[in-house]
Structure 1
Amino acid sequence: MVTIRDIAKDAGVSITTVSHALSNKRAVSNKTRERIFHSIEKLGYKPNALAQSLKTKKTNTVGLIIPHKSKYFVENYTFIDLIPKLLENLIFNNYYLLIYKDYQDYNPIMSYEFLIKENRVDGFILVDPKHNDLRIQYLLKQKKPFVIFGRSPEYPEIPSVDVDNINGIFKATEFLIRKGHKKIAYVGVSPNYIYAEDRLEGYKKALKHYNLPEDSQLIYLNPTYDENAGYWGIKDVYDHCQSITAVVCPSDQIAIGVIKGLKEKSLTIPNDVSVIGYDDSLLASYFYPPLSTVRQPIDTLSSLLVQEIINLVEQKNPKQVQHHILETQLIERGTTKSIIN
């Protein structure tokens, strides 16, 4: 294996001079620098990333901690779409992504403690913020750079990137109302997380705006974020009210579960009941019938998340805290129809 000593010998300079040329911490003449990099190219030298990180205490790695549920990574459609984009943007900026499990149910900061103690990452992208979030409080105490994927009004000093979840679900509900639907159910997630709270608010806000009554029997909230939540949720709603003509769901996963539950009730989509999801995941357009949904701008979200965490890690514009709220786009496909005669 080629070492820095071999480079120094081939270039006819000291080991210290090679080190200065590689780190850019000391001035090295252009002529000497060219000679050193010619030797590096000739000998095929590759710096040892681990050794460099031990020396500089910088890993060029960003941590993403996801919930511990075994299927969360493969079943959360937002993450399936987001993670490749994060990787692409990080690699372009010479950073890595470390994905780690979270154990929020009994110790929400355990994974963060481990990665910080072991100096595995330079900063974090924190997902699914809550009110009084212990993870945020811990990272602030540790003075570890992090950016929030979501909205966290309690911590305006932390950069964040999110979509307008209230308006996104408002648009979905409004879309159904304008197609003549009045009995519109909402099958969603318990508002433990701020995004879930915002999406439920968007549904209620649309009903109020169009003078439609809010019926608690048409709202089903489940603690989980998957197809089962939609499947069992719509069964519960339909048992209480067979006159529903549409369902709003705060994720495509839940919408797919809702459609399965409705089909088991011998109902057809969208002739009997219209269903709209949220995310516009990769599966939405391949589902049958293709799923009407609300699109999140994943490319822009991932780009901004990477931009913000790198700015923090490299201390660029430290006094300028950015909060990005992006607009969503309603996508009409085959699971919704007008019932206006």
Structure 2
Amino acid sequence: MTQGKRRRRRAGATIEEVARAAGVSRQTVSNALNAPQRVRRDTLARVMEAIERLGYQPDQSARSLRTGSRRTIGYLAPVDDPFDPNPLMGGFLEALVDAAGAEGQRVLLFRPAHGATDPRPAIDELIAGRQVDGFVLSDVLSGDVRVEHVARAGVPFVAFGRTAPDTPQHWVDLDNTGALADVVALLAARGHRRVAFLGSPADLPWMADRREGFRLGVERHGLDTSEALELTAVRDDAAETVAAVRALLHGADRPTAIATAGDMLALTAYEAIRAEQLSVGRDVAVVGFHDSPICRLLHPPLTSVRLPLRRIAAELVRRLLAQVRGEPVAGRGLLVSAEPVVRASTG
């Protein structure tokens, strides 16, 4: 009976019991949980060992009322097709949840009401209910209404994508220009002098940056700068895009490499190359962008730019929590570099 009572008591241990077991004050235990950077390393280890041994569970609701922190990050989830999911944003969500969890935070997914397209009422509902400490916004465009709305509300936020100059610069973005320039450098180092680019028809800033990076790389390495080497995929018409790439591959002065703005565009290049009785990798090198799972399954496997989603997510969470805690935040956003993962499609 005594042993059973002890078990029940330890399962419901109090902060005072943890303090006694660790030989510290109640405030030190509180600091170890809420501000571990204030506690000496050996003391922190002793407190955490006592917490684990006694099975202490902090009262999260009481903590939230006391500190005003919900320890929850709101993420406005992009609309996606469950039968054809976007592997990039799925990977980003996984990375974001992990990064938040490492900081003791949860991620609350939300969207506008069914049938609605304006995200602002959904954002306002979370703010009014004090359900989140701040927001992560992705797929951010110039003049994005979500950014302008949360900035006016004075709520902490971070953006995956660059924000307009007149809004707070709490963003992290991929250096798309530098990534494509690095792709051209890779191809130039392998002896390619005539490199083509297959871009996306989507009018998106990151796609424009990739095209600019291609031009920068071509100029930097003294490659053929003919405008005919720059193609744009035909929207919603893969057959037309394949035909355009095939036309480019006719003749002795065909490009020996194709850099693309996305992995699906690289698949189009594969189809066009094979239709011309050429070999991917041996006759024409191909490089994708995003390094989606399909890249490893193609024949030959596709060289592609891998996005450092875990680093991006960690930086976003760090910058958001700095705002929540009232700590200094860098006055400008952060560009994160990415490099191609080399496979057999580049020979």
TM-score (norm 1): 0.72
| 2:248 paired with 1:241 | yes
Displacement of 1:184: 0.8
Q: Which residue of 2 aligns with 1:149?
A: 160
Equivalent residue, structure 2, for 1:184: 196
- Following the alignment from structure 1 to structure 2, what is the Cα–Cα distance between the partners of residues 156 and 138? 10
Which consecutive unaligned segments of at least 5 residues does structure 1 have?
12-18, 26-37
Task: State the shift of 1:177 in Å.
Answer: 4.0
- Secondary structure of the equivalent of 1:130? coil
CA distance in 2, matches of 1:64, 1:273: 41
Per-residue deviation, 1:252: 2.9
Single out whichever of 135-144 and 111-120 deviates more from structure 2: 111-120
Greater shift in the superposed pair: 275-284 or 44-53? 44-53
Separation in structure 2 between the aligned mates of residue 110 and residue 287 of structure 1, nearest angstrom = 44
Matches within 5 A, 1:53-202: 53=64, 57-71=68-82, 74-77=85-88, 79-101=89-111, 106-152=117-163, 154-155=165-166, 157-178=168-189, 179-192=191-204, 194-202=205-213
Change (3 A) 1:247 1:46: same
Task: Work out the CA distance in 1 between the residues paired with 2:96 and 2:166.
Answer: 23
| TM-score normalized by the length of structure 2 | 0.71
Gaps of 5+ in 2: 1-7, 18-25, 35-49
Equivalent residue letter for 2:263: D
How much has 1:67 moved relative to structure 2? Answer: 2.3
Alpha-carbon distance in 1 for matches of 2:61, 2:145? 31
Rounded to whole Å, the distance in 2 between the matches of 1:296 and 1:63 is: 23
Question: 2: distance between equivalents of 1:135 and 1:222?
Answer: 30
Are 2:225 and 1:213 aligned? yes
RMSD: 4.0
Task: Return the alpha-carbon distance in structure 1 between the equivalents of residues 336 and 91 of structure 2.
Answer: 17
Asked if the contact 1:294/1:330 (under 8 Å) is kept, the reply is yes
**Deviation at 1:253?**
4.0
Note the alpha carbon deviations across 1:169-206, whole angstroms, 9 max, x for none. 012123334432415132325232x2222111111223
Pick closer, same or farther for the CA change 1:296–1:21 going to 2, 3 Å.
closer
Contact 1:186-1:203 within 8 A present in 2 as well: no
**Aligned partner (choices 309, 325, 342) of residue 298 of structure 1:** 309
Matches within 5 A, 1:236-275: 236-238=243-245, 240-243=247-250, 244-260=255-271, 262-263=273-274, 267-275=278-286
| Counterparts of 1:39 and 1:202, CA distance in 2 | 52
| Structure 2 CA distance for partners of 1:60 and 1:73, relative to 1, 3 Å | farther
Corresponding residue SS for 2:199 = strand
Distance 1:326 1:242 in 2: 34
Q: How many residue pairs end up in the alignment?
A: 307
Q: 1:266 & 1:222 partners in 2: Cα distance?
A: 23
1:222 and 1:125 map into 2 onto residues whose CA distance is 33
For the Cα contact (< 8 Å) 2:174–2:338, is it kept in 1? yes
User: Residues 301 and 183 from structure 1, CA distance in 2 versus in 1: closer, same or farther, beyond 3 angstroms?
Assistant: closer
Distance 1:254 1:145 in 2: 37
Match of 1:113, SS state, is helix
Q: Which residue of 1 aligns with 2:4?
A: none
Tell me, what secondary structure is at the counterpart of 2:80? coil
Deviations 1:112-163 (A, max 9, x none): 3343344332112222221222111111111111112223352563222223
CA contact (8 A) 2:193 2:224 kept: no
CA displacement at 1:324 relative to structure 2: 2.0
Change (3 A) 1:40 1:300: closer
Q: State percent identity of aligned pairs.
A: 20
Letter in 2 for 1:160: W
Contact 1:297 1:328 in 2 (8 A): yes
The 3 A distance-change label for structure 1 pair 203 and 57 is same
